[in-house]
């Protein structure tokens, strides 16, 4: 009887906390959508920050995240392949694996400070490359560990079957094993992209921000997230409304990427 | 059973140690594999059947640190000489060996690609690029694996959508396509239903016209139905080897008899 009572209490408590959690999330989303949509105008997307739009911010944010992705994906996937397929469970492998796991949870502000010291300070100016580097450093360990973990799910018989047909190890890895792990690796890349596209801290003192449209990576670079951070603290109504609009757009983008990630995971024959 | 059969492989005093293992898993095995015959390996779980089988195409060498001792001779196509495959060192020598000695696993191992590309995979690796030749070899292999009629209209479909039994026959087709001399099967039907099992067994009997078969099996009926020779292993030793009928009806060793009659397993 006592056990049943305890069971009920725990059930009620956990249901309650689930509702509280979902309630807050819902509240945030509703507020965000309500205020965001109300503040959105067509000019929000066609104008740059100086004229009250977010065009240059979107382009800037995606440029830095895109460069980070282009550099990090091949590096991270290759490192993951090394760890799983060539590392042979040696000490070095396990050290790299642990370091990479630790990096995954490194506070993003710390990464920002680190990049500031190496790519901003020596050049005397905030710049887009530094922003991209920060985002890349955030992304790299996520891609390494997803690749590593996804390759671990591929049965060893599949590799052996390839070898038994007269394949060489590197061909089997690239043509069969990676193919078999493709969905997982792709999902990992998408989710890590979703993670960095919404980051502020690593950009705050690396790329900083720019009100104007620019593609010059050697100068301060426009960023959506840093702008939201700045705009939200301005006293005027227009700035704060723009912050709402920008937040809504950012949330929509992240949500969309996550949904694509889930869709990719579910589709069997990619 | 006639005695004029030609050996295609000979295993002499083979010892094998897994990386990091204190004891050898194979403790000085001697065995002759006869050409175009089916040799079954039976014995309790963990006795070293897979270990011995996997030495025959040196798939063990995918993992560093395995130690061999002794000889594994394979007859050369061209010279007819028996060459020791334990002497191989270079990757292209291994590749050549594995093209001659293929392997089928317990669970089907279709590659995540189309049915056509699965069979084409080994052929392309061996240097065949010509579409016409590929098509011909693939059709022939699929026919030999008795699966052509089921797949001929969906060669471009993913192999992952086939049933387990079909996938296993596809894997056999994939190996047969390379025209190997020897095919190694490691419990090829233990993951399959009885109907698929019967189909695979029939297929293996057919295959022996063109290829020598070595098959590890847990299933005593399968060994007696299918094989010409049987070898019984126990704790890393080959206890008995001989024509299947003799081993099953009139075993020389008490241990073999006990195992076959199900007194232990
Ligand atoms: N990769 C390995 N490393 C170390 N020992 C192994 C490995 N694989 C198998 N063994 C050991 O070798 C012995 C024989 O295994 P195996 O050849 O798979 O037996 P069987 O196929 O007859 O069931 C077992 O004791 C098993 O534990
Ligand atoms: Mg086994």
What CA–CA distance (Å, rounded) separates B68 from B13? 10
What is the DSSP annotation of A95-118? Answer: HHHHHHHHHHTS-HHHHHHHHIII
Say whether B113 and A179 touch across the interface (CB within 8 A): yes
- Contact yes or no for B150/B128 (Cβ under 8 A): no
Beta bridge partners, B224, equal: none
Which residues from chain A sit within 8 angstroms of residue B178, using beta carbons?
Answer: 165-166
Q: Sorting pLDDT into bands at 50, 70 and 90, what band is A269? A: low
- Contact yes or no for A26/A157 (Cβ under 8 A): no
Say whether A168 and B161 touch across the interface (CB within 8 A): no
Q: How many CA atoms lie within 13 A of A250 on its CB side?
A: 25
A153 Cα to chain B: minimum distance (Å): 14
Is A269 in CB contact (< 8 Å) with chain B? Answer: yes
Percent of chain B with pLDDT over 90: 93
- What b/e string do you get for A18-29 counting C-beta neighbours within 10 Å, with b at 16 or more? eeeeeeeeeeee
Ligand 2 midpoint to CA B121 (Å)? 26
B125 Cα to chain A: minimum distance (Å): 6
Find the closest chain A residue to B92 by CA distance: A168
Residues A69-113 pLDDT 10s: 999 999 999 999 999 999 877 889 999 999 999 999 899 999 999
Ligand 1 midpoint to CA B2 (Å)? 34
Say whether A166 and B178 touch across the interface (CB within 8 A): yes
Convert chain B into a string of H (helix), E (strand) and C (coil): CCCCCCEEEEEEEEEEECCCCCCCCEEEEEEEEECCCEEEEECCCCCCHHHHHHHCCCHHHHCCCCEEEEEEEEECCCCCCEEEHHHCCCHHHHHHHHHHEEEECCCCCCCCCEHHHHHHHHHHHCCCCCHHHHHHHHHHHHHHCCCHHHHCCCCCCEHHHCCHHHHHHHHHHHHHCCCCCEEEEECCCCCCCHHHHHHHHHHHHHHCCCCEEEEECCCHHHHHHHCCEEEEEECCEEEEEEEHHHHHHCCCCHHHHHHHCCCCC
pLDDT for B145 equals 93
Counting ligands in written order, the one closest to the CA of B106 is 2
pLDDT for A192 equals 93
Hey, what are A265's tokens? Answer: 């995971």
Burial (Cβ within 10 Å: 0-12, 13-18, ≥19) of residue B229: buried
Q: Count of CB atoms within 10 A of residue A244's CB?
A: 22
What CA–CA distance (Å, rounded) separates B239 from B232? 6
Which residues from chain B sit within 8 angstroms of residue A176, using beta carbons?
Answer: 111-112
Ligand 1 midpoint to CA B250 (Å)? 29
Residues B63-115 pLDDT 10s: 989 999 999 999 998 898 999 999 999 999 999 999 999 999 999 999 999 99
- Contact yes or no for A240/A230 (Cβ under 8 A): no
pLDDT for B28 equals 94
Residue A138, pLDDT above cutoff 70: yes
Counting ligands in written order, the one closest to the CA of B186 is 2
Ligand 1 atom closest to the CA of B63, numbered from 1 = 1
Please state whether beta strands B229-234 and B237-243 pair in parallel, antiparallel, or not at all (unpaired).
antiparallel
Q: Sorting pLDDT into bands at 50, 70 and 90, what band is A3? A: confident
Ligand 1 atom closest to the CA of B43, numbered from 1 = 22
Quick one: CA torsion of B119, B123, B128, B132, rounded to 10 degrees?
Answer: -30
B115 Cα to chain A: minimum distance (Å): 13
Hey, what are A167's tokens? Answer: 């394949």
Q: What is the mean pLDDT of residues B121-141?
A: 96
B-interface mutation test, from A165, A179, A181, most B Cβ less than 10 A away: A165
Q: Find out if CATH 3.30.930.10 is the number for domain A55-154+183-264.
A: no
Question: Hey, which of B44, B46, B106, B216 would you mutate to test ligand 1's pocket, going by the most ligand atoms within 8 Å of its Cβ?
Answer: B46
Q: What is the mean pLDDT of residues B216-220?
A: 93
Q: Whose CA is nearest to atom 27 of ligand 1?
A: B46
B-interface mutation test, from A151, A155, A162, A166, most B Cβ less than 10 A away: A166
Q: Whose CA is nearest to atom 7 of ligand 1?
A: B18
Lining residues, ligand 1, CB within 6 Å: B 18, 21, 25, 43, 45-51
Helical residues (DSSP H) of chain A, grouped into ranges: 2-39, 42-46, 55-81, 91-104, 108-115, 128-153, 156-164, 169-172, 178-180, 182-197, 201-204, 224-233, 237-266
Which residues from chain B sit within 8 angstroms of residue A159, using beta carbons?
Answer: 62
Ligand 1 atom closest to the CA of B53, numbered from 1 = 17
Q: How many CB pairs under 8 A join A and B?
A: 69
pTM of structure: 0.87
Containing H/E element for A48?
none
B187 backbone φψ class: left, alpha, beta (φ>0; ψ -120 to 50): left
Tell me the pLDDT of chain B averaged across its residues: 94
Q: Using a CB cutoff of 5 Å, list residues around ligand 2, an ion.
A: B 50
Q: How far apart are the first and last CA of chain A?
A: 52
Residues B50-64 pLDDT 10s: 999 999 999 999 998
Please, which residues 146-185 of chain A have a Cβ atom closer than 8 Å to chain B?
A: 155, 157-169, 171, 175-176, 179-180, 182
A114 Cα to chain B: minimum distance (Å): 39
Q: Sorting pLDDT into bands at 50, 70 and 90, what band is A1? A: low
Phi, psi of A267 (to 5 degrees): -70, 125
Q: Sorting pLDDT into bands at 50, 70 and 90, what band is A266? A: confident
Say whether A269 and B160 touch across the interface (CB within 8 A): yes
Counting ligands in written order, the one closest to the CA of B46 is 1
Ligand 1 midpoint to CA B46 (Å)? 6
């Amino acid at each position: 009887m006592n056990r049943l009572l305890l069971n009920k209490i725990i059930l009620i408590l956990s249901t309650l906390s689930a509702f509280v959690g979902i309630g807050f999330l819902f509240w945030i989303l509703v507020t965000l959508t309500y205020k965001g949509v109300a503040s959105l105008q067509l000019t929000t997307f066609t104008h740059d920050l100086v004229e009250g739009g977010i065009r240059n911010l979107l382009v800037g944010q995606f440029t830095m995240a895109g460069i980070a992705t282009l550099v990090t994906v091949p590096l991270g996937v290759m490192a993951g392949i090394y760890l799983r397929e060539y590392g042979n469970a040696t000490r070095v492998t396990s050290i790299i694996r642990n370091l990479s796991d630790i990096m995954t949870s490194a506070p993003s502000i710390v990464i920002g400070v680190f990049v500031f010291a190496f790519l901003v300070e020596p050049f005397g100016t905030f710049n887009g490359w530094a922003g991209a580097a920060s985002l890349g450093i955030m992304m790299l360990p996520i891609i390494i560990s997803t690749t590593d973990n996804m390759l671990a799910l591929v049965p060893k018989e599949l590799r052996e079957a390839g070898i038994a047909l007269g394949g060489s190890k590197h061909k089997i890895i690239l043509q069969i094993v990676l193919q078999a792990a493709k969905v997982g690796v792709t999902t990992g890349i998408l989710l890590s992209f979703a993670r960095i596209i919404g980051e502020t801290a690593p950009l705050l003192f690396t790329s900083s921000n720019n009100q104007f449209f620019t593609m010059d990576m050697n100068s301060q670079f426009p960023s959506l997230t840093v702008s939201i951070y700045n705009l939200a603290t301005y006293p005027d109504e227009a700035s704060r409304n723009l912050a709402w609009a920008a937040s809504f757009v950012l949330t929509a983008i992240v949500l969309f990427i996550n949904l694509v990630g889930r869709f990719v995971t579910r589709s069997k024959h990619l | 059973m006639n005695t004029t059969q030609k050996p295609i492989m000979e295993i002499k005093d083979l010892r094998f140690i897994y990386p990091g293992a204190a004891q050898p898993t194979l403790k000085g095995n001697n065995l002759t594999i006869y050409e175009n015959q089916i040799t079954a390996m039976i014995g309790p779980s963990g006795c070293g059947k897979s270990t011995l089988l996997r030495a025959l195409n040196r798939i063990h060498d995918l993992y560093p640190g395995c130690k061999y001792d002794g000889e594994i001779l394979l007859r050369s196509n061209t010279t007819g000489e028996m060459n020791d495959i334990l002497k191989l060192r270079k990757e292209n020598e291994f590749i050549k060996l594995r093209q001659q000695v293929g392997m089928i696993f317990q669970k089907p191992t279709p590659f995540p690609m189309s049915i056509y590309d699965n069979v084409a995979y080994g052929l392309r690796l061996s240097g065949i690029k010509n579409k016409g030749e590929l098509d011909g070899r693939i059709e022939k292999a699929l026919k030999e694996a008795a699966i052509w009629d089921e797949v001929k209209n969906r060669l471009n479909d993913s192999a992952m959508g086939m049933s387990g039994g079909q996938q296993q026959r596809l894997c056999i087709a994939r190996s047969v396509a390379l025209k190997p001399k020897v095919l190694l099967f490691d419990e090829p039907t233990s993951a399959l239903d009885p109907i698929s099992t019967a189909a695979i067994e029939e297929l293996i009997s057919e295959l022996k016209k063109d290829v020598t078969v070595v098959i590890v099996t847990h299933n005593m009926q399968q060994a007696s139905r299918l094989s010409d020779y049987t070898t019984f292993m126990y704790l890393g030793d080959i206890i008995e080897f001989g024509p299947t009928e003799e081993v099953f009806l009139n075993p020389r060793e008490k241990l073999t008899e006990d195992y076959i009659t199900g007194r232990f397993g």
